[in-house]
Amino acid sequence: MPADLNLRLGLPGSDQTDVDAAKSNKRASPEKAEDTASNGVPAAKSADDHETAPAPKAQIVGWPPVKSYRKSTAAAVKKAEAESGMYVKVSMDGAPYLRKIDIKLYNGYSHLLTALEDMFKLSIEREGYKGSEYAPAYEDKDGDLMLVGDVPWEMFMSSCKRLRIMRGADARGLGCAQ
């Protein structure tokens, strides 16, 4: 580059380290663009700031670069999912037909299990496998049969595709429900 265009970013006398700091400032937390000292020089970061994790990106204007009508679609899809209920089939070993429930209606495992007990008129294992009662199991997204209760409730809600109330004897090996 031609040497005569040696413009500087800071005031005369400010040295290159300020510019370097500004660069790393820029990269670490892009949304802090206003974080300049009153003399216009980007605030030199202390050593601590270099080591802290970058600020969460969720608040960046215009990022990710998705047009506004797409954002609202994604939001609408989520909203629609939220409103439409999460119906899953519930089968009980030995019962002639299945039932369907909306998992969204329940606020946790014990609420769900109580509802299932009412629906099928039986009692379900809660703590530990005793081998005599029914055990609640579900089929997840991968098609695997899982014991109800191991994962956080929200994760369960999004991964549960189908419920199966297994006879105690068949549930051997599924382990303990929380």
Partner 1 sequence: MAYSFPEEVLEHVFSFLSSDRDRNAVSLVCKSWYDIERWCRRRIFVGNCYAVSPEIVIRRFPELRAVEMKGKPHFADFNLVPEGWGAYAYPWIAAMAEAYPFLEEIKLKRMVVTDESLELISKSYKNFKVLVLTSCEGFTTDGLASIAANCRHLRELDLRESEVEDLSGHWLSHFPDSCTSLVSLNMSCLGSEVSFSALERLVARSPNLRTLRLNRAVPLERLANLIRRAPQLVELGTGAYSAEIRSDTFSNLADAFSACKQLKTLSGFWDVVPSYLPAMYSVCSGITSLNLSYAAIPSSDLVKLINQCQNLQRLWVLDYIEDSGLDALAASCKGLQELRVFPSDPFGAEPNVPLTEQGLVSVSEGCPKLESVLYFCRQMSNAALIAIAKNRPNFIRFRLCIIDPQAPDYLTLEPLDTGFGAIVENCKELRRLSMTGLLTDRVFKYIGSHAKKLEMLSVAFAGDSDLGLHHVLSGCDSLRKLEIRDCPFGDKALLANAAKLETMRSLWMSSCFVSFGACKLLAQKMPRLNVEVIDERGPPESRPEGCSVERVYVYRTVDSRQRLDRPDFVWTLDEDSSLRYS
The site for partner 1 (CB under 8 A) is made up of 1-2, 5-11, 22-23, 26-27, 30, 33, 36, 39-42, 54, 56-58, 60-71, 73-74, 77-78, 80-81
Nearer to partner 1, 67 or 121 (CB): 67
Min CB(107)–partner 1 separation in Å: 22
CA angle 127-130-131, nearest 5°? 135
Min CB(52)–partner 1 separation in Å: 15
Nearer to partner 1, 47 or 61 (CB): 61
- 52-80: string of b/e by CB count within 10 Å (b at 16+)? eeeeeeeeeeeeeeeeeeeeeeeeeeeee
Min CB(152)–partner 1 separation in Å: 13
Nearer to partner 1, 74 or 145 (CB): 74
Nearer to partner 1, 82 or 95 (CB): 82
Question: In angstroms, rounded to a whole number, what is the distance separating the alpha carbons of residues 22 and 55?
Answer: 16
Min CB(155)–partner 1 separation in Å: 11
Q: Strand ranges (DSSP E) for 116-169?
A: 135-139, 145-147, 162-166
Shortest CA distance to 117 belongs to which of 99, 139, 104? 99
Structure tokens at 2: 């031609």
